[in-house]
Chain A
């Protein structure tokens, strides 16, 4: 059959398929073709491996494979679009877990310390336990408690991991191997536990990178170029996403994991009052506008307002000939690109949805900016107040619009703990209430 060189070439083809799969995601037009190419590459890699390996337990492998196909496809079809961040965190964790299992299987098989396999075990364990905590948090099963000890724990566990690792490397005792798994699992938990909801996009990206690099490490230990290349690709992808997100939030990765957010007042806004408006006024102003820009944030996702929003946009466009655009900040929501998926689900055409740099010049000429469930990403202090923790963070410049409607449940500070002077500006009108309910009321009034 095909020899070692043939096998190598097939793996190379698979890796190229994966590169082109991600390349396909550059544009929505080519994205599905990219995904299909990814599936093809994966099928090819698995098939050729099955053909070449002298497996003794075909039945076991086939049952594990079919069971995973059955459950995987079932779960993927069942999950609601609003629960996508959890699903992605869960799958990511599972990926890390399989690297851990393979690494450990290898060590048990050869009964010696193997650097590559141990590397896969440590990175994979952190990815696994961290992703599971992220999953539970996104699912709402773990409330953000007060884990005061957590930072110290993480540092201690980090040292412990290194210590056990060195111990294992020098003694090669299997007991140290077992211990290392538990210590790195604990490290993943303690790193992720204190992280707040708005930092989730960053955490998910970092964990994504980890599971990729764990696969790469397995590639080193079984000497397989397909694994090394693919793992590196995934690792790079997660790293870049994390960098984009941290830049868009004006935070560093270290801050995300180790620094607690201080609740500060920033500027004193006590003596100012926000002006409250009604849905009737909002409907009236938007009907008579030439251009309306909608700015969704996590509050929109939480209340499931995307369909109501699309309804509103549609009526405004078709009945009143208003130009409607959607503006999305890179960190809006709980995972990278979260808002885009939700709007796409509500059938908002993607050519009406704009990223930060594309849309910012538009606010000056907009009659109405409709900010729904977003806060920090619109805070003008990021531009003006050098002492603010938000200073330097790129924001959506909604304050430049003629009128700004802010749909929010209360006047509270955003996740950053900084008050938002936008709410008290001359041209801002508040609409208190649930994002979906308020939008539906406006739709009824149009």
Chain B
């Protein structure tokens, strides 16, 4: 895939992000931050990729495994915290 294609994807995604986030109600800005934190853990895919390409017991492998760990922390921590927050938001008739 050419750099131009990737750049196109990036820029169009920024626009999608802009419009989607505009629609988020201010009351949910905290969960928005933690959900976006969680999904930025997608970098785990990159970590898995470099881990697969590395030699056994190399520095590259160690770095990749640490990256898997930290990205995983981001994913699990982020989604669970968001879920805890979102559970709190209730209307009277939803009790």
Q: A interface vs B, CB < 8 Å?
A: 11, 14-15, 18-19, 21-23, 25-28, 31-32, 34-35, 38-39, 41-42, 45-46, 49-50, 53-57, 60-61, 64-65, 67-69, 71-73, 75-77, 79, 81, 84, 87-88, 91-92, 94-95, 97-99, 101-102, 104-106, 108-109, 204-205, 208, 211-212, 214-216, 218-238, 240-241, 244, 328, 330, 335-338, 340-341, 344-345, 347, 349-351, 353, 355
Contacts and interface: CB of A to CB of B under 8 A. Distances in A.
A338 B90 CA distance: 16
Contacts of A236: 13-18, 21
A225 B50 CA distance: 16
B28 A340 contact: yes
A92 to B, nearest CB: 5
A237 B11 CA distance: 14
Contacts of B26: 244, 328, 330, 336-337, 340, 355
Contact of B81 (A61, A76, A220, A337): A76
A355 B27 CA distance: 8
Interface string B84-95: 111111111000
B69 to A, nearest CB: 4
Nearest to B34: A88
Nearest to B23: A26
Given A46-B45, A224-B49, A350 B36 contact: no
Interface string B58-95: 01110111111111111111111111111111111000
A66 to B, nearest CB: 9
Given A25-B24, A60-B51, A98-B70, A204 B88 contact: no
Interface of B: 1, 3, 6, 9-11, 13-18, 20-54, 56, 59-61, 63-92
B88 A95 contact: no
Given A102-B50, A232-B13, A335-B30, A211 B77 contact: no
A14 B75 CA distance: 14
Contacts of B79: 35, 38-39, 42, 76
Contacts of B22: 240
Given A18-B39, A102-B67, A218-B43, 4 more contacts: A232-B14, A233-B17, A351-B91, A355-B27
Contacts of A108: 59-60, 63
A120 B81 CA distance: 26
Given A88-B30, A216-B10, A230-B42, A105 B64 contact: yes
B35 A22 contact: yes
Contacts of A28: 25, 27-28, 86, 89, 91
B30 A84 contact: yes
A42 B75 contact: yes
Contacts of B86: 28, 31-32, 35
Contacts of A345: 88
Nearest to A108: B60
Given A42-B41, A60-B65, A241 B32 contact: yes
Nearest to B49: A222
Contacts of A231: 40, 42-43
Contacts of A75: 73, 77
B35 A35 contact: yes
Nearest to A26: B23
Contact of A72 (B23, B29, B77): B77
Contacts of B37: 88, 91-92, 95, 208, 211, 234
Given A57-B51, A64-B66, A102 B33 contact: no
Nearest to B75: A42
13 contacts: A21-B35, A25-B28, A28-B91, A42-B75, A49-B45, A64-B69, A65-B68, A84-B85, A91-B74, A95-B71, A102-B50, A105-B60, A241-B21
A94 B29 CA distance: 20
Contacts of A223: 1, 6
Contacts of A229: 9-10, 13, 16
A77 B88 contact: no
A203 B60 CA distance: 32
Contacts of A218: 43, 46
Contacts of B90: 344, 347, 349-350
